[in-house]
């Protein structure tokens, strides 16, 4: 017996009647259902519709604000090119007796408290230039005069630190440079450090003041030595090491008082770490050293050969990790950060 069997017994007219009833009830059901929707729709209608309007408005406002912001904020900086388009190559250096500090300041308007950031691109490296110093004001002025524009042409983010030895005890170049490294890192996480004599002026801006995979010696030759490398292991004057490379060798020794030996000691430290010293091509790594006599207070260190003989034994405990000093002042001058420090005496 099928489900529809009772229907079969009903007359044809009856069948149509039942079908019509079914159809009507379905229609009624649909009508009630949609009525509820309409009702509920009416009940809630105000809120979603306003929301939609508000949302559209908010989107419009947001797009407008974003658009105006885009116009206001400069476009995101791109990395500076591998080779700066500002480089000039061999330079004509000048050492005018009439040069004044205020002229150098006004020539370097982009420099604030010794620091510079290229305006149009993101520098490839952030470099701290460390200059050990005492009573060489004229040399410092010449160096600042040449070095600031030189570094700006290289599109570097850089800052110059001058580390002044307070008092008149024997000079200690190496310890001052350790202090410079430690003090500069309090300002910024510099990735590269240039250890720079005050009297050496670079002659060619293709001599890049950036660090490499290995420590770099930037002085192949200078005027006084006929632009020849003094000896194979020579590592004095101007050197570049990354923050990590310098930390790895525990910095300079603190024990070289007076002239000589501290640069060779650093070379030994570098070699002990199986690092290799790199040098730029000789035609680029050229410097003019402003003429000077040996300073009083920086007499030749007669002990240097003995000290060089024990570097291998002592480097781990003599260096950055044992560099004790007293900072007398940190002055943020327009062209450099002037760190005056008491490093003690021999
Ligand atoms: C050589 C090295 C130098 C260093 C030195 C031995 C070169 C080009 N330079 O320089 O890096 O190894 O021998 O210690 O080979 N200073 C002062 N006031 C002083 C004394 C020294 O500011 O009273 C600073 C200054 O930055 C100077 C540096 O120490 O440039 C080295 O002293 P230097 O120029 O008298 O020695 P020099 O030319 O033989
Ligand atoms: Mn010198």
Residue 155 reports pLDDT greater than 80 = yes
Cα of 219 vs centre of ligand 2, distance in Å, is 12
More confident residue, 6 or 225: 225
The answer to whether 257 is a known catalytic residue is no
* CA gap 24, 21 in Å, rounded: 5
Residues 264-283: tens digit of each pLDDT: 999 999 999 999 999 999 99
HSE, side-chain direction, 13 A CA sphere, residue 194: 27
pLDDT, tens digit (0-9, with 9 covering 90-100), for 228-252: 988 999 999 999 999 999 999 999 9
Minimum-distance ligand 1 atom for the alpha carbon of 259 = 14
Helices (H) and strands (E) in the chain, counts: 9, 13
Which residues have CB less than 5 Å away from ligand 2 (the ion)? 199
Q: What is the mean pLDDT of the chain?
A: 88
In this structure, the chain runs to a length of: 346
Nearest residue by C-alpha to atom 22 in ligand 1? 133
Average pLDDT over residues 106-117: 98
37 pLDDT tier (thresholds 50, 70, 90): very low
CA-to-CA distance for 81 and 323, rounded, in angstroms?
Answer: 38
Q: Is the CB of 295 under 6 A from ligand 1?
A: yes
Predicted pLDDT at 13: 67
pLDDT in tens, 196-217: 999 999 999 999 999 999 999 9
Cβ of 260 less than 6 Å from ligand 1: yes
Q: Are strands 78-79 and 121-122 parallel, antiparallel or unpaired?
A: parallel
Whether 179 and 339 have beta carbons less than 8 Å apart is answered as: yes
Position of tokens 């149509």? 16
State how far the Cα of 185 lies from the Cα of 344, in Å rounded to an integer. 22
Strand order from edge to edge, sheet including 286-289: 200-202, 286-289, 221-222
pTM for this one? Answer: 0.82
> 331 CA distance to ligand 1 centroid (A)?
23
Model confidence at 43, pLDDT cuts 50, 70, 90, reads very low
Look-up: residue for tokens 């604000």?
Answer: 65
Distances (CA, A) of 182 to 41, 61, 189, 204: 71, 50, 11, 29
| CA–CA distance, 236 with 195 (Å, rounded to integer) | 9
What pLDDT is attached to residue 66? Answer: 72
Overall average pLDDT of the 39-58 stretch: 43
């Amino acid at each position: 017996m099928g489900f529809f069997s009772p229907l079969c017994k009903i007359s044809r007219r009856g069948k149509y009647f039942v079908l019509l009833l079914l159809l009507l009830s379905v229609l009624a059901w649909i009508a009630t259902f949609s009525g509820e929707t309409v009702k509920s729709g009416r009940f809630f209608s105000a809120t979603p519709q306003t929301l939609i309007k508000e949302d559209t408005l908010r989107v419009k406002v947001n797009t407008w604000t974003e658009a105006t912001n885009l116009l206001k904020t400069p476009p995101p900086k791109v990395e500076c090119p591998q080779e700066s388009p500002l480089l000039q190559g061999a330079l004509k250096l000048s050492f005018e007796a009439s040069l004044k500090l205020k002229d150098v300041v006004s020539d370097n308007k982009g420099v604030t408290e010794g620091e510079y950031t290229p305006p149009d691109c993101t520098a490839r490296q952030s470099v701290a230039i460390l200059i050990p110093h005492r009573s060489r004001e004229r040399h410092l002025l010449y160096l600042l005069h040449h070095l600031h524009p030189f570094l700006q042409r290289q599109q570097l983010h850089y800052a110059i630190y001058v580390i002044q030895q307070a008092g008149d005890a024997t000079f200690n170049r190496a310890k001052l440079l350790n202090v410079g490294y430690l003090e500069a890192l309090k300002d910024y996480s510099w990735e590269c450090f240039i250890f720079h004599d005050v009297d050496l002026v670079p002659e060619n801006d293709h001599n890049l003041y950036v660090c490499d995979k290995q420590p770099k010696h930037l002085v192949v030759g200078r005027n006084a030595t006929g632009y020849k490398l003094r000896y194979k292991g020579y590592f004095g004057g101007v050197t570049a090491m990354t923050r990590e490379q310098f930390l790895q060798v525990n910095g300079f020794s603190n024990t070289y008082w007076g002239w000589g030996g501290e640069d060779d000691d650093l070379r030994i430290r570098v070699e002990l770490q199986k690092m290799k010293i790199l040098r730029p091509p000789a035609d680029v790594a050229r410097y003019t050293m402003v003429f000077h006599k040996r300073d009083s207070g920086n007499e030749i260190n007669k002990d240097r050969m003995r000290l060089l003989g024990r570097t291998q034994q002592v480097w781990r405990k003599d260096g950055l990790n044992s560099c004790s000093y007293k900072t007398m002042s940190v002055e943020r001058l327009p062209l450099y950060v002037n760190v005056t420090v008491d490093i003690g005496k021999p």
